[in-house]
């Protein structure tokens, strides 16, 4: 009654102000105090009553054996119908307690599909509820889980590396990954299809010296229960200054049939090569051996020979031979 009177009084004052009528007195601080007090009393009365409501709780699965694992994301909340005072319900909704469900009691349906009958765990669920909450009903009577074997697989690492070198610089040899493969532990259906583990992107600019960078692996967002033997991989690169060199190298023709004489206009090929500056003096024209296979030209009905580099030094990074075709004449 008091609350109704105060609200009626407040409504009348608002109408008076709207019609620009002069009230006999202004709204006093005492009236505002009464209004606030009335609202507080109303809330206390309302929250002290008992209600039957639906409440969602975060869900955690326990009791899964060590050699089993959830193959996919399972339902992560549990909806219960509870009876409690308004105070208890408000407190529970502000700070929800995580409820554990025994996944070890799951029954196999087919393949990796298992199911849990929640009615069989009603007593355990009641004990986990905050004091003052009376469990009336579990909204969902069956939970389905994909439970499969926990397997391990050694998977190669795949870098995502972009290197911009300073002019004249390059890798001496391919980059090194430490480790170059890692063990992945997880759900069988995911691990069996896993081919590589990708690293976070690494971009380097104006590189002119050796580098060594530690990079994290990329963990898939849509797969749970994965573990890795290493969380990071070190990428190592050996870099040197390179230069270009050329040599005139004589070639020889092989597989010429008896009774056939082959003549060419030139006797040498020019070999252009890229080598690190510090190793340049370790190379000479004897480091190369070029041959032209007459049998290949004859088999493919070619009127020219194709020079091939038979041997080269491991210090050479890359090379080109010119000319790449050699005309010849046959004298029988």
The separation between CA 205 and the C-alpha centre of its own chain, rounded to angstroms, equals: 25
The separation between CA 20 and the C-alpha centre of its own chain, rounded to angstroms, equals: 67
The kind and range of the H/E element at 226 are none
The two tokens of residue 65 are 């054996």
pLDDT band with cut points at 50, 70 and 90 for residue 27: low
Whole-number pLDDT of residue 319: 93
List, as one string, the DSSP characters of 43-57.
HHHHHHSEEEEEEEE
Report whether 217 contacts 198 (CB < 8 A): yes
Residue 218 CB contacts under 8 Å (≥ 6 apart), including other chains:
197, 198, 199, 200
Round the CA-based radius of gyration of the chain to a whole number and report it. 41
Nearest-angstrom CA–CA distance, 96 and 54: 13
Nearest-angstrom CA–CA distance, 63 and 303: 78
Tens digits of per-residue pLDDT, 118-133?
888 888 888 888 877 8
Give the count of beta carbons closer than 10 Å to the beta carbon of residue 37. Answer: 13
Nearest-angstrom CA–CA distance, 81 and 57: 11
298 secondary structure, DSSP code: H
pLDDT band with cut points at 50, 70 and 90 for residue 1: very low
**Which of these, 249, 242, 260, lies nearest to 297 by C-alpha position?**
260
Average pLDDT over residues 261-269: 90
Tell me: pLDDT of 35 over 70. no
Whole-number pLDDT of residue 43: 63
Which residue would you say has higher pLDDT here, 146 or 166? 166
Tell me how many helices (H) and strands (E) the chain has: 6, 25
**Residue whose pair of structure tokens reads 């911009």 in the numeric block:** 164
Share of the chain above pLDDT 70, in %: 84
Share of the chain above pLDDT 90, in %: 39
Q: Which residues of 118-151 are buried (b: 16+ CB within 10 A; e: fewer)?
A: beebeeebeeebbeebebeebeeeebebbbbebb
pLDDT band with cut points at 50, 70 and 90 for residue 47: low
Tens digits of per-residue pLDDT, 65-112?
777 777 666 777 888 888 877 777 777 777 778 888 887 777 778 877
Which residue would you say has higher pLDDT here, 68 or 165? 165
The kind and range of the H/E element at 95 are none
Give phi and psi for 245, each to the nearest 5: -135, 160
Tens digits of per-residue pLDDT, 134-161?
888 888 888 888 777 778 899 999 999 9
Helix axes 29-48, 86-94, angle to 10 degrees: 90
Whole-number pLDDT of residue 83: 82
Pairing outcome for strands 232-237 and 176-178: antiparallel
Whole-number pLDDT of residue 10: 46
Q: For 153-193, what is the HEC assignment? A: EEEEEECCEEEEECCCEEECCCCEEECCEEEEEEEHHHHCC
Whole-number pLDDT of residue 46: 63
Question: Domains, the chain, ranges and CATH?
Answer: 2-48 (no CATH), 53-149 (2.170.120), 150-240 (2.170.120.40), 244-331 (2.170.120.30)
pLDDT band with cut points at 50, 70 and 90 for residue 20: very low
Report whether 239 contacts 209 (CB < 8 A): yes
């Amino acid at each position: 009654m008091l609350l109704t009177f105060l609200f009626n009084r407040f409504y009348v004052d608002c109408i008076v102000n709207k019609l620009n009528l002069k009230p006999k007195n202004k709204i006093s601080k005492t009236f505002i105090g009464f209004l606030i007090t009335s609202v507080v009393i109303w809330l206390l009365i309302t929250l002290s009553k008992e209600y039957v409501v639906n409440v969602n709780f975060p869900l955690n699965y326990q009791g899964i054996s060590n050699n089993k694992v959830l193959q996919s994301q399972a339902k992560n909340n549990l909806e219960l119908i509870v009876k409690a005072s308004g105070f208890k319900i408000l407190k529970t909704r502000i700070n929800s307690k995580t409820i554990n469900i025994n996944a070890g009691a799951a029954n196999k349906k087919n393949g990796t599909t298992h199911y849990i009958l929640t009615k069989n765990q009603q007593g355990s669920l009641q004990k986990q509820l905050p004091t003052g909450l009376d469990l009336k009903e579990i909204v969902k009577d069956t939970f389905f889980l994909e439970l499969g074997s926990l397997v391990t697989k050694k998977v190669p690492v795949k870098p995502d590396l972009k290197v911009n070198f300073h002019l004249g610089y390059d890798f001496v040899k391919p980059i090194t990954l430490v480790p170059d493969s890692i063990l992945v532990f997880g759900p069988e259906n995911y691990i069996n299809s896993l081919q590589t583990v990708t690293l976070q992107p690494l971009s380097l600019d104006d590189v002119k010296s050796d580098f060594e960078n530690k990079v994290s692996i990329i963990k898939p967002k849509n797969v749970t229960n994965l573990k890795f033997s290493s969380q990071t991989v070190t990428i190592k690169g050996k870099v040197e200054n390179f230069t270009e060199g050329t040599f005139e190298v004589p070639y020889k023709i092989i597989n010429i049939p008896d009774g056939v004489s082959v003549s060419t206009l030139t006797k040498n090929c020019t070999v252009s090569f890229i080598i690190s500056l510090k190793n340049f003096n370790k190379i000479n024209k004897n480091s190369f051996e070029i041959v032209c296979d007459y049998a290949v030209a004859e088999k493919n009905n070619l009127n020219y020979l194709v020079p091939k580099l038979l041997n080269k030094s491991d210090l050479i990074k890359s090379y080109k031979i010119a000319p790449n075709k050699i005309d010849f004449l046959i004298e029988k």
